[in-house]
Structures are given as C-alpha cells and as structure tokens.
C-alpha cells in the first residue's frame, strides 16, 4: 500500500521532470568544445560546486544504502558520514594532493599520473577506474527502480520500464549539455532534494518519537547501536574498511574530483572540499534516521529485505502531496547522481583511454559528438548490468568494495606521486595490479557456486582491507626494485 496518488503526487513529479529536462536541454548551446563538455571550461564557483557535489553525492542508491545501515546498525551506520567529513575537511584545509593536482594542469587524475610516471600508468589506472566506476554505477537503476516501485505503488513488472525511462531522461540532457547541463540541473535538484528530505525527516521523527527511537535501538542492538567498535556485525575491521574507502573516495573518485578540477582555481577547490565535510554527516544521518524510523514503526514481518525498509515506511507514512514532493526530491537526487557519473566515466574514457586515437587533435564538433556517444554507451551498459547482477552483500559494502578495484592503487599512486620522490613507474604498475587483484577475484568467485562458501567465510571487508595493503606494498617494492632513471 502507498499514499501516492497519480492525480496529485504524479503531477508534482511530472512538473519537476519537465523543468529539469527543459533546463538541461537549453544549456546545450553553451557547449563549444570537449573542455566545456567535461569540465564546464573550469569556471565553477564555490556555491555552484557545493550545490552540484551535494546533489551528486545523494542519489537514491546512497540514500537506500545509508537507510539500510541505520535499520541494521542504528546510529553506528552514521560512522560513514563522520569519517567522510573528517577526510573532506582535512583535504580542504591542507590542500593534500588536491593542490599539486590543480597546479599540474591535468584534466583528470590519470592524466596527472602520466605527468608523474608514464603514459602506460595513465592508461592502466584509467581502465581500472572506469571498470570500478561502471560496476559501482551498475546498481543505480535497480535501486532507484525498487524505490519508485514501492513508494509510487507501481506493479513490480514495471521496474525495468521505470528504470529505462529514468535513464533516457538523464541521458538526453547529459549528452546535450555535458557538465554545464549537469551543474545547472544539479542546482535545481539540490533545492528539491533539500526540501523533500527535511519534510520527510520531520514526519518520521514525529511519527516514531525521538525518545522511542533511542529506546528501540537500545533494546535491539544495545551499545552497538551507538558505537560501531562494539557492534557485533561491525567492529574495527569495518571501521578501517570504511575509513580507508571514504578517504580514497574523497581523493580519487572521479565524480568527486571532477568538481575540484572544474573549479575556478585551487583556492575554490580547497574550500569546496572543506565546506562539503558537514554535508556528508547530514547525508548519512538523514537516511539513517529513515532506516531507524522503519525499525520502530513497521510491524515485524513487513520488511523482507532491510534494503527495502525505508521505501516501505515512506510509502505508508507520508500523506498525499508530501509523498509527491518526496518522490520528486528523490528523483532529483538520483538524476543528479546518474548524470554526474555518466559524465565522469565518459570523460575518463575520452581523455585517458581514447586519447590514443584522437591525440587531442579532433575538431571541437567531432570531440563533443564522441563524448556524447560515450555517455550513451555507458548508459546502455548500466541499463543491462543493473538488470542481472545479483547483490550478495550490504548495498553500501558492495558500492565501496567494487571501488577498491581502482581506489586502493589510485590512492597509493596519487599520494606517492605527490610526496615521495622515489615512487617509480614500475611501482605504480605493481600497485594497480595488486590493488585490483583481490576485489576482482572475489567478485568472480561470488558467481561460481563451489567457491561461494569461501567468499562468505572471508567476506568483502577483509579482502578490501588487504587490497589497500597490497597496493602499498606493490608501490614500495616496485619502486625500490626498479626505480626511475632520474631517481637512481
């Protein structure tokens, strides 16, 4: 059951979609070349960058993943946001790695790696990043579709159609306007998203009662609801896994770092990081509260899968009109995330992999057309991958685990490239191989029935932590075994 009424709530959602689509299409006339398409000609100011990054970082998939953490672990799930906040503030205040990246003139992180190591490292790292990014993005449509089917009350058979329509809308304005369209639509989406989230949170806290929420968490999870270190299902391994993951995300994840590279100057880029810190706590806390609200308000047996607890609660708790606003705001968040990710991975493909073909010599018209085709190709992959991949673990664990395919080595190569003179090209290659080996083998093993017991015994968290260690070991051993000539 849902309180969503097509004649009222559906109209609210439709109006929002039409506004976003028209604005995004209108911006296309300002795209003159590939740099405009990828980085908005590096003209993003602080406030536009903050609104865009905030909207990008709060998609339906992120919201559902965080709500699942709140439902299963209470306020301990907000640890993700706290760790990410510290990471962003530290990077912003010190300029750690970001300042050397901006001063290098590189348009992407792999391009920076070429300047520090070699063109081969640029190719290898960008391929790893694209693979990890596409696997990460692959479940966006599935999660968004699950949310809409439950909250709107669509028949389950309409999930694929809903996913496809949503993707087509995003593809249209992203292909036409590039980052310029994304930035403008992000600003609109940020406003819708903020209003919808705050209204929904007010209804949930009022319905569940703050004191009652604390009481239920204490009875259900004990001290583990408030302290991840004493939570039986989390603990130090999970905190280490999460901490390293969010730090690498802040420094190396293309959808995040692209806003830094698109900023007007280094000072704006640093402020963008610093001021985004607090938002990440809010981004974790609000959906975690929704998950906790579901734990308190939904009767036992109603929730079959923890990942669906939050949309089930919203569908039954929010009144007509408010639920339409909420769906519009969540669509705003999801469209922003998908458009930014489509552009992020297409820009890596264009700038760092396909450069062997275009060599930065294609005409502006041809370059923009190629980037648009790349966005379309990624959209098609995401559509089909999202339909068949079976999710085995927590959604949040999956999202940050597949990121380890590239994040472990990217973090090591980025930091050593900036601050360790002995870092060598051979060390960078070893870091990429060893950092990606564990996650890739684990993901493949999960799909082979005889190996499933072993993957369940080991778990993604241990594999993820080991991948960081191996990436670092690869860089150190490789750099001392085969140093660059200038370091000899």
Least confident of 192-201, 241-250, 262-271, 335-344: 335-344
Average pLDDT (319-329) is: 84
Asked if residue 270 lies in contact with residue 250, where contact means CB atoms within 8 angstroms, the answer is: no
Least confident of 13-27, 45-59, 353-367: 45-59
Q: Which residues pair with 196 in a beta bridge?
A: none
Domains, the chain, in order of start with CATH, read 6-391 (1.20.1730.10)
Inform me whether the pLDDT recorded for 157 exceeds 90: no
307 pLDDT band, cuts 50/70/90, is confident
For 97, counting Cβ atoms within 10 Å of its Cβ (0-12 exposed, 13-18 middle, 19+ buried), the class is buried
**Helix-helix angle 425-446:395-419, to 10 degrees:** 170
Res 390: pLDDT:
58
The CA-based diameter of the chain, rounded to the nearest angstrom, is 73
Phi/psi region, residue 59 (left: phi>0; alpha: psi -120 to 50; beta: rest), is beta
Res 418: pLDDT:
92
488 pLDDT band, cuts 50/70/90, is very low
How far apart, in whole angstroms, are the C-alpha atoms of residue 486 and residue 272? Answer: 36
User: 3-state SS of the chain: helix, strand, coil percent to 5?
Assistant: 85, 0, 15
Other C-beta atoms closer than 10 Å to the C-beta of 479 total 23
C-alpha dihedral, 113 to 417 to 84 to 36, nearest 10°: -30
Q: Of the candidates 438, 417, 440, 441, which has an alpha carbon nearest to the alpha carbon of residue 427?
A: 417
Share of the chain above pLDDT 90, in %: 25
3-state secondary structure of 263: strand
What is the C-alpha end-to-end distance of the chain, expressed in Å? 70
374 pLDDT band, cuts 50/70/90, is confident
DSSP for 377-396, written as a single string: HHHHHHHHHHHHPPP-S-HH
Q: What is the pLDDT of residues 124-155, one digit of tens each?
A: 998 888 888 888 777 777 777 778 888 888 77
Inform me whether the pLDDT recorded for 100 exceeds 60: yes
Q: Of the candidates 462, 481, 402, which has an alpha carbon nearest to the alpha carbon of residue 436?
A: 402
Asked if residue 425 lies in contact with residue 120, where contact means CB atoms within 8 angstroms, the answer is: yes
Average pLDDT (324-341) is: 78
Share of the chain above pLDDT 70, in %: 86
How far apart, in whole angstroms, are the C-alpha atoms of residue 349 and residue 59? Answer: 23
Res 411: pLDDT:
92
Higher pLDDT, 386 or 295: 295
Inform me whether the pLDDT recorded for 35 exceeds 60: no
Query: Which tokens belong to 100?
Result: 């050397």
420 pLDDT band, cuts 50/70/90, is very high
Q: Which residue has the tokens 């968490």?
A: 217
How far apart, in whole angstroms, are the C-alpha atoms of residue 189 and residue 197? Answer: 12
How far apart, in whole angstroms, are the C-alpha atoms of residue 224 and residue 93? Answer: 32
For 176, counting Cβ atoms within 10 Å of its Cβ (0-12 exposed, 13-18 middle, 19+ buried), the class is buried
Res 179: pLDDT:
62
Res 172: pLDDT:
77
How far apart, in whole angstroms, are the C-alpha atoms of residue 221 and residue 72? Answer: 9
Phi/psi region, residue 459 (left: phi>0; alpha: psi -120 to 50; beta: rest), is left
Average pLDDT (375-394) is: 72
Phi/psi region, residue 445 (left: phi>0; alpha: psi -120 to 50; beta: rest), is alpha
Mean of the per-residue pLDDT values for the chain? Answer: 82
Average pLDDT (426-452) is: 88
Query: Which tokens belong to 454?
Result: 């072993």
316 pLDDT band, cuts 50/70/90, is confident
Residue partners of 369: CB distance under 8 A and separation at least 6: none
Inform me whether the pLDDT recorded for 412 exceeds 70: yes
Kindly tell me the sign of the dihedral angle through the C-alpha atoms of 144, 401, 423, 360: negative
Asked if residue 102 lies in contact with residue 270, where contact means CB atoms within 8 angstroms, the answer is: no
DSSP 8-state assignment for residue 97: T
3-state secondary structure of 299: coil
37 pLDDT band, cuts 50/70/90, is low
Residue partners of 101: CB distance under 8 A and separation at least 6: 109, 112, 257, 260, 261, 414, 418
Res 258: pLDDT:
76
Other C-beta atoms closer than 10 Å to the C-beta of 350 total 24
Res 352: pLDDT:
84
Res 214: pLDDT:
94
Least confident of 67-76, 212-221, 227-236, 402-411: 402-411
């Amino acid at each position: 059951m849902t309180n969503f009424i097509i004649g009222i709530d559906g109209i609210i959602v439709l109006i929002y979609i039409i506004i976003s689509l028209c604005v995004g299409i209108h911006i296309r006339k300002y795209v003159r070349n590939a740099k405009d398409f990828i980085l908005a000609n590096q003209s993003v100011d602080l406030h536009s960058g903050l609104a865009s990054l905030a909207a990008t970082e709060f998609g339906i998939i992120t919201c559902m993943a965080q709500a699942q953490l709140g439902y299963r672990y209470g306020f301990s799930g907000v640890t993700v946001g706290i760790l990410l906040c510290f990471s962003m503030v530290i990077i912003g205040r010190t300029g750690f790695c970001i300042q050397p990246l901006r001063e290098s003139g590189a348009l992407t992180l792999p391009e920076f790696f070429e300047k520090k190591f070699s063109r081969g490292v640029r190719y290898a790292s960008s391929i790893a990043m694209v693979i990890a990014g596409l696997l990460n993005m692959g479940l966006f449509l599935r999660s968004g579709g699950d949310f809409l089917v439950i909250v709107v009350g669509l028949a389950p058979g309409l999930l694929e159609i809903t996913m496809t329509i949503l993707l087509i809308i995003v593809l249209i304005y992203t292909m036409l306007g590039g980052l310029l369209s994304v930035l403008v639509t992000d600003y609109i989406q940020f406003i819708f998203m903020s209003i919808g989230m705050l209204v929904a949170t007010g209804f949930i806290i009022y319905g569940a009662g703050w004191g009652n929420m604390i009481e239920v968490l204490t009875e259900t999870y004990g001290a583990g609801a408030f302290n991840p270190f004493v939570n039986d299902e989390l603990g130090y391994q999970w905190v280490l896994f999460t901490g390293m993951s969010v730090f690498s995300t802040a420094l190396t994840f293309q959808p995040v770092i692209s806003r830094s590279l698109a900023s007007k100057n280094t000072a704006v880029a640093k402020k963008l990081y610093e001021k985004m810190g607090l938002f990440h706590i809010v981004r974790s806390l609000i959906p975690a509260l929704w998950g906790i609200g579901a734990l308190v308000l939904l009767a036992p047996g109603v929730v079959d899968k923890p990942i669906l607890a939050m949309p089930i609660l919203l569908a039954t708790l929010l009144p007509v009109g408010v639920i339409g606003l909420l769906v519009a705001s969540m669509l705003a968040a999801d469209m922003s995330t998908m458009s930014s990710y489509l552009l992020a991975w297409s820009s890596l493909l264009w700038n760092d992999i396909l450069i062997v073909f275009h060599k930065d010599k294609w005409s502006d018209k041809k370059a923009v057309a190629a980037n648009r085709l790349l966005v379309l190709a990624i959209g098609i992959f995401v559509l089909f991958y999202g339909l068949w991949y079976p999710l085995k673990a927590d959604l949040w664990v999956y999202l940050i685990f597949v990121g380890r395919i590239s994040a472990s080595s990217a973090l090591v190569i980025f930091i050593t490239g900036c601050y360790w003179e002995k870092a060598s090209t051979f060390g960078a290659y070893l870091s990429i191989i060893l950092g990606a080996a564990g996650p890739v083998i684990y993901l493949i093993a999960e799909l082979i029935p005889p190996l499933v017991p072993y993957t369940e015994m080991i778990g993604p968290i241990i594999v993820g932590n080991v991948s960081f260690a191996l990436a670092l070991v690869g860089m150190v051993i490789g750099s001392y075994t085969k140093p660059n000539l200038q370091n000899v």
